[in-house]
Amino acid sequence: MLYAKERAEIADCCRAMLRAGLTTGSGGNISARIPGEEHLCISPTGILYERMQAADVPVVDMSGRTVDGVMLPSSEAPMHLAVYAQRSDVRAIVHTHSPYAATFACLREEIPAVHYLIGFAGTHVPVAQYATYGTPELAEHAVRALGTEFQAILLANHGLLAVGPTIERAYAVAEEIELVARIHYQARTIGQPVILDDAEMKRIIGKFHSYGVQPCEEE
């Protein structure tokens, strides 16, 4: 089986995403680009994560054509492919329907630097313009919102898109930004949050370059 390690890691992280409450059922998707190859592994469409095995994760080329596996790739494959084409630093993508991040996505409000952990994404988390899921338009909007500096964005009326150099890092970004979204929501319910300025966030982002994260593991 091609890229058995990466496909197993995607299946493990899909289950971790489900356990952590970052999605439900088979919502969201995860992919990993293979270094030195024009291939990526991406979670399949229409399979419950609790049942997913490594062999269920298809491998596609950079045109979206399946080169290994029997399951259909995620309907969001065009968005993943567009991000990889635009960002050479990105080797993994985690897309969640996490409830607090999705709440702000539905409000079409960016998440500001209410907590220093926003530095996992950048100085804030911007919002990509709305488009129907799985369309080239959504892919275009996502790429534009990510630019060259952000590691996470909100997809309007949809969810969160997190990126990184590894699946572990992209998953950590998704987890931390959901926490910050929850903190922002809670702070807003009782008062007006004090937002950290860009200068402080740039110092924090610099410190995060050496921050360690652990891989997704089965319980």
What digits encode the pLDDT tens for the residues 193-218?
999 999 999 999 988 776 554 556 54
| pLDDT value of position 219 | 41
Characterise 36 by phi-psi region: left (phi > 0), alpha (psi -120 to 50), beta (else): left
Domain membership flag for residue 12:
yes
149 flagged as catalytic:
no
| pLDDT value of position 209 | 75
| pLDDT value of position 38 | 93
| pLDDT value of position 216 | 60
What digits encode the pLDDT tens for the residues 142-197?
999 999 999 999 999 999 999 999 999 999 999 999 999 999 999 999 999 999 99
| pLDDT value of position 200 | 96
Q: How confident is the model at residue 81 (pLDDT cuts 50, 70, 90)?
A: very high
Identify the active-site residue in 6, 9, 76, 178: 76
Q: What is the mean pLDDT of residues 17-29?
A: 95
Q: What are the Cα distances from residue 8, in Å, to 54, 68, 69, 217?
A: 4, 14, 13, 10
CATH number of 132's domain: 3.40.225.10
164 burial level (CB within 10 Å; 0-12, 13-18, 19+): buried
Asked whether 44 and 14 are in contact (CB, 8 A), the reply is no
What digits encode the pLDDT tens for the residues 38-59?
999 999 998 999 999 999 999 9
46 burial level (CB within 10 Å; 0-12, 13-18, 19+): exposed
Domain membership flag for residue 114:
yes
| pLDDT value of position 215 | 53
Domain membership flag for residue 219:
no
Q: What is the mean pLDDT of residues 27-31?
A: 97
Domain membership flag for residue 216:
no
What digits encode the pLDDT tens for the residues 92-142?
999 999 999 999 999 999 999 999 999 999 999 999 999 999 999 999 999
Domain membership flag for residue 213:
no
| pLDDT value of position 70 | 95
Residue 170: domain span: 4-208
Domain membership flag for residue 217:
no
